[in-house]
């Protein structure tokens, strides 16, 4: 899986992280999911984003989670 799916360009969406090759902010995916929509709804709303790109972004977020986790109390 290609995990190089995010681009940041000051000339596109003011430098907001976007799906590479699109003008769709990464945050749009998480906003959709937080609002209760599923991945197919997001992809229908943003047809320039591929299923593979969306899954890769979710995988990146999943891989980064342990870095932000608090250790369990002993």
pLDDT band at 63 (very low <50, low <70, confident <90, very high): confident
Q: Is the pLDDT of residue 51 over 90?
A: yes
Mean pLDDT calculated for residue range 27-41:
97
pLDDT of residue 2: 59
Q: Is the pLDDT of residue 67 over 80?
A: no
Cα–Cα distance measured from residue 53 to residue 18, given in angstroms and rounded to the nearest whole number: 11
- The structural domains of the chain, ordered by start, are 6-62 (1.10.10.10)
pLDDT band at 8 (very low <50, low <70, confident <90, very high): very high
pLDDT of residue 4: 87
């Amino acid at each position: 899986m290609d995990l190089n799916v995010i681009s940041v360009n000051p000339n596109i969406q003011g430098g907001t992280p976007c799906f590479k090759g699109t003008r769709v902010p990464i945050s749009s995916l998480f906003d959709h999911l937080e609002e209760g929509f599923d991945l197919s709804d997001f992809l229908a709303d943003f047809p320039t984003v591929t299923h593979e790109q969306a899954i890769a972004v979710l995988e990146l977020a999943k891989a980064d989670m342990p870095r932000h986790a608090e250790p369990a109390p002993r």
